[in-house]
Structure 1
Amino acid sequence: MVNRDDIAKSALETLPITVAVIDHDGEILLTNEAWREFGPGEPDDHVGTDYLATATVEDEHARRAVEGLEDVLDGRRETFAMEYPCHTPDRKQWFLMRANRFRVDGDVRVSIVHLEITERKLAEIDAAESADRLREQRRALEHVLDRVDGLIRDVTDAAVGAGTRDEIERRVCRRLVDTDPYCLAWIGRLDVTSGRIAPSEWAGRDDVPLEDDGLLLGSDERHPAVRAVETDEATVVQNVEAVAEASRWWPVGVDTAVESVAAVPIRYNDVTYGVLVVFADEVDAFDDRELLVLESLAGTIATAMNAIETRRMLTSEGVVELEVAIEDSSLFLTAIASELDASVTFRGQTYDGDGTPLVFLHVDRSAGVVEAVTDLERIADVTTISSSDDGTLLELTLDDGVVTALADHGAVLRRFDTDATVADVALELPSSQSARSVYDLLDDRFDRVELRSYRETERPTETPQDLAARLESSVTDRQLMALRKAYFAGYFAWPRPVSGEELAESMDISRSTFHQHLRAAQRKLLDELFDGDPTSEG
């Protein structure tokens, strides 16, 4: 017959937990294999040892264990359990101790089990730390949201409420440095003639003037402001100590420690007004969330500047005259001049009924013009308006949108001539920002663009553009096209190089219809000149 005590003892040996049994006096009566092999040194069953006496009195966890075991031995409680650390130099570990009171033949016995719970404890600690981190992140986020909300509101109020661009820049910079961790903010403007960024307004915690370091576009300058303007994207340096030349990004004599910097272009549509540069006294101050706020602020600033610039343009008589030379064989004028070995002069531009731009060019050559031009890239269609010994007047439908792009920027073409290598372009623009935008447009599109002249001047109170705008609002599209075609073709010169029948054919209408459109447009033009009634029928 199988002995149950033998089975129990054998089973006890296989358990992966440390087990011991003590008597009423605390003497160890029995241990299992896991108990004997636990701990450093040779295996020891500790049988006959006073278990309670082995506890270290100075150890808080040992005192708790002894008190709990005494309660169980004396019958004040049937069970006792506690968790305790038992770290080694190599690893951290935790155990669960559990004591249960029972009797054998009337004698009190207590089983003591030690179960390792390290994995569970580490998971609990990690969960608690994660909860703490989440609470801290939530508190930080609430703080950031409060700060950001106030910052965006104040900067928006400052930008929208300002009456001039200078006032916008001054208010914005002062408000930014009132916000931790920002310690300096400045706004730089672009000089179209020199290609430099010049600080126009700044504010900082220390009253030290900001030096104009002459940040040059197109150089090997690594300043974040230069890179932000050249790439049209925000540029961040999270640790300025890692950049050798960063010491000169900061005013000399300022005691505040500069740790990071962000530069954000101030851009409205495709017009760049400048760059916003913000310094912080913390490393890694400009994370994605912070950068998104600055980009939003830069957009608000640009919108406010555009509104002020628009108001100024409507009331000011100022105009920017810009002259550039373009050397690029892909420019349609240069390609035509090179193919024909002739000089090409831009006469003007209009639009057909579908809004497709039509460009009028004069080529000082008569033979083989259309055939040569038709085969060129970027030329969708070619029509000869007139031809004489002096040259050929062409009407082109272009795939190249440079002329349209210039018009979209508010540019008025005053000259656009070329030989086989260099195109000479003269433009009038409403502001220095639009001039810079146009220059950047040309510089990005063509191989070589040279700035030959830049001048800000006063335009007359009544401009041809004003007259043209009123005329365009009073005539039909076909009337305006007839008038422009006649003018660009030299129809009003004497002797006429082109007939009304030829112009009518170019518009795919009859000669009588062409003259009807032309005379109606002429009368409305004269009405504008002599204060007539441009709304009268005809």
Structure 2
Amino acid sequence: MGTGNDLAAATLETLPITVAVIDGDGEILSTNRAWREFGPDDAADHVGVDYLATADVDDEHARRAVEGLEAVVEGERETFAMEYPCHSPDEKRWFLMRANRFTVDGAVRVSILHLEITERKLAEIAVEETAAELREEHEALEHVLDRIDGLLREVTDAAVGAATREEIERRVCETLVGTDPYVLAWIGRLDATNRRLSPREWAADGDAALEDDELVLGTDETHPAVRALADGGVQVIQDLEAFDDAERWWPAGAGDSFRSVAAVPLTYGDVTYGVLTLFATDADVFGERELLVLDSLAGTIATAMNALEARRMLTTDSVVELEITVEDPSQFVAALAVALETALSYRGLTYAEDGTPLAFFQADRAVEAVPPAAEIDGVSDVTVLSTYDDSALLEVAIDDAVVTGLSEHGAAIRRFDAATAGNESAQTAAREVGVDLTVDLPTAQSARSVYDLLDRTYDGVELVSYHETDQPPQTPQDVVARLESSLTDRQLTALRKAYFADYFEWPRNVSGDDLAQSMDISRSTFHQHLRAAQRKLLDELFDSA
């Protein structure tokens, strides 16, 4: 027991908090080193002093402490805690006092500790000061909220209640112009074929006039609407009088009608539907709070447009065909053609069990060996599935983000070929290898987004043709969609590999063993998957006839 008491006493001495123990009469029985060193009379242990009697009852905090301690001593409560200031001439300090009642051999004892909490209190004060500043900012924000009261609701109603995209654009512009201090609003769309941006719908109050010229991406970068589309973020001119190119875009004297301009891209996900350009009567109107409101409005408008497009996609009988050339040696099809010294013709696409895209390409010469996939960006593996006298079929495992992006936009790849100028071999014209890409897309917006994706990723991207055409009542995509819902991943992969490798031709240039090996399965398992897929394909064919 003595050893335990000695250990407890020694431990108490080392604590960085002041500790004292009093008896039922308030007399101090013991203190620790921190207690003795805290007061002005160093080394005084205060043992025998009536702790309760020494308190300054004229001090509010001391009086409260005495009342709490007396309640603990009398057994009215087991614990008591309070925070109090104890400032010195040199610094401000705060402490936490905590008292706990216990007994020793039936005698009442109360432990009293004081813990300095100055850092925490200073942090709380800083938070309170910050909160006060925020309250002031909130009060300053009220005039903005008063001005735009109902604007979000009105624009939302206009966007959601419209039946067509044109109606959304018209009603939104009219609603915005009806709100002070806006005097002109227009929503522009970008023509993907010539990269020109022009207002489609607009509304104006008074003499405010539209821009003098049509806008072109890539050349008219000083215009905020063009910058907004190019950069994907809000662009602002706070004062036209200080804007050097103002007279280039707006008629002389336009500053009499409006002084500041903001352009906000209308973006849903990675699809951009256009740009909202808004004009205000005064300079410096588009502050941080105003732009937050406009950004929210733009999101609402783009969401409504996306919903309309989604509904139209379910009922439309048209498809957008986009034909693009890419002359960038870093593009994986071009790089593969150069590495193999051959032109490549796209045959089709499937997916491995882990989701990796597997593309099939026909080489225009017999290929015996393939380069290491690590040498070609965007390619994780290349396999020769079958060889012919003057050609070969390649299976290419792809980790290229563009292929994934095409899939996310609903693109059906029709052509993905690599050729050289004048049909020369890639060996003699490596730098001239170009990639011809043709895809079918569900909407004009998805076509625009696909073009932007390619343009951002590669150099030498050129739009060759853009066509909106009617599609038949039942398309190959419809058949594939139904098949994919009934086939397992392995069955679909086996069927596609067999087809692209000309397994169904006679004589065969590839065996079931080769195809099974490419899927890392046994020959019998491959044929089980293939027969099951063939049966389901025939069911689809004859049941739909």
Match of 1:492 in 2: 504
Q: How does 1:20-31 map to 2 (within 5 A)?
A: none
Moved more, 192-201 or 348-357: 348-357
Equivalent residues of 1:198, 1:212 under 8 A apart:
no
* In structure 2, C-alpha distance between the alignment counterparts of 1:268 and 1:390, rounded to whole Å: 48
Equivalent residues of 2:350, 2:358 under 8 A apart:
yes
SS at match of 1:186: strand
The C-alpha deviation readout for 1:55-79, integer Å capped at 9, x for no partner, is xxxxxxxxxxxxxxxxxxxxxxxxx
* In structure 2, C-alpha distance between the alignment counterparts of 1:366 and 1:138, rounded to whole Å: 73
* In structure 2, C-alpha distance between the alignment counterparts of 1:502 and 1:139, rounded to whole Å: 74
**Residue 445 of structure 2 is aligned to residue 441 of structure 1:** no
Amino acid corresponding to residue 411 of structure 1 in structure 2: A
The C-alpha deviation readout for 1:437-467, integer Å capped at 9, x for no partner, is 1111101111110111111111111110011
SS at match of 2:284: coil
* In structure 1, C-alpha distance between the alignment counterparts of 2:251 and 2:202, rounded to whole Å: 11
Equivalent residues of 1:359, 1:397 under 8 A apart:
yes
Return the offset for 1:316: 0.4
Match of 2:218 in 1: 218
Q: How does 1:133-172 map to 2 (within 5 A)?
A: 141-172=141-172
* In structure 2, C-alpha distance between the alignment counterparts of 1:435 and 1:138, rounded to whole Å: 44
TM-score (structure 1 length as normaliser): 0.71
Return the offset for 1:519: 1.4
* In structure 2, C-alpha distance between the alignment counterparts of 1:146 and 1:230, rounded to whole Å: 33
Return the offset for 1:287: 0.3
Match of 2:335 in 1: 335
The C-alpha deviation readout for 1:231-270, integer Å capped at 9, x for no partner, is 0010000001112332354468979521100000001111
Identify unmatched segments of 5+ residues in structure 2: 1-132, 420-425, 427-432
Return the offset for 1:346: 1.6
Equivalent residues of 1:322, 1:427 under 8 A apart:
yes
Match of 1:463 among 442, 467, 475: 475
Q: How does 1:387-398 map to 2 (within 5 A)?
A: 387-398=387-398
* In structure 2, C-alpha distance between the alignment counterparts of 1:212 and 1:155, rounded to whole Å: 28
The C-alpha deviation readout for 1:56-107, integer Å capped at 9, x for no partner, is xxxxxxxxxxxxxxxxxxxxxxxxxxxxxxxxxxxxxxxxxxxxxxxxxxxx
Amino acid corresponding to residue 479 of structure 1 in structure 2: Q
Equivalent residues of 2:228, 2:234 under 8 A apart:
yes
Q: How does 1:306-345 map to 2 (within 5 A)?
A: 306-345=306-345
Superposition RMSD in Å: 2.3
Return the offset for 1:329: 0.7
Q: How does 1:293-304 map to 2 (within 5 A)?
A: 293-304=293-304
Equivalent residues of 2:208, 2:258 under 8 A apart:
no
Match of 2:7 in 1: none
Amino acid corresponding to residue 406 of structure 1 in structure 2: L
Match of 1:358 in 2: 358
For the pair shown, the structure with the greater C-alpha radius of gyration is 1
Change (3 A) 1:417 1:298: same
* In structure 2, C-alpha distance between the alignment counterparts of 1:212 and 1:412, rounded to whole Å: 40
The C-alpha deviation readout for 1:347-366, integer Å capped at 9, x for no partner, is 22211111121121221222
SS at match of 1:198: strand
Match of 2:58 in 1: none
TM-score (structure 2 length as normaliser): 0.70
Equivalent residues of 1:340, 1:372 under 8 A apart:
no
Number of residue equivalences:
401
Equivalent residues of 2:184, 2:208 under 8 A apart:
no
* In structure 1, C-alpha distance between the alignment counterparts of 2:212 and 2:159, rounded to whole Å: 24
Return the offset for 1:220: 4.1
* In structure 1, C-alpha distance between the alignment counterparts of 2:318 and 2:544, rounded to whole Å: 29
SS at match of 1:469: helix
Match of 1:512 in 2: 524
SS at match of 2:381: strand
Equivalent residues of 1:381, 1:396 under 8 A apart:
yes
Return the offset for 1:469: 0.3
Equivalent residues of 1:369, 1:392 under 8 A apart:
no
Change (3 A) 1:134 1:272: closer
SS at match of 2:539: helix
* In structure 1, C-alpha distance between the alignment counterparts of 2:371 and 2:284, rounded to whole Å: 63
* In structure 2, C-alpha distance between the alignment counterparts of 1:457 and 1:440, rounded to whole Å: 21
Identify unmatched segments of 5+ residues in structure 1: 1-132, 534-538
Match of 2:464 in 1: 452
Return the offset for 1:398: 2.2
Return the offset for 1:314: 0.8
Change (3 A) 1:209 1:239: closer
Change (3 A) 1:491 1:251: farther
Match of 1:228 in 2: 228
* In structure 1, C-alpha distance between the alignment counterparts of 2:205 and 2:151, rounded to whole Å: 17
Match of 1:48 in 2: none
Equivalent residues of 1:208, 1:253 under 8 A apart:
no
* In structure 1, C-alpha distance between the alignment counterparts of 2:473 and 2:536, rounded to whole Å: 21
Match of 1:526 in 2: 538
The C-alpha deviation readout for 1:278-315, integer Å capped at 9, x for no partner, is 00001100001101110110011000000000110110
**Residue 393 of structure 2 is aligned to residue 381 of structure 1:** no
Change (3 A) 1:212 1:241: closer
Q: How does 1:471-490 map to 2 (within 5 A)?
A: 471-490=483-502
* In structure 2, C-alpha distance between the alignment counterparts of 1:148 and 1:337, rounded to whole Å: 58
Match of 1:282 in 2: 282
Change (3 A) 1:157 1:511: same
Match of 1:406 in 2: 406
**Identity over aligned pairs, percent:** 62
Match of 2:17 in 1: none
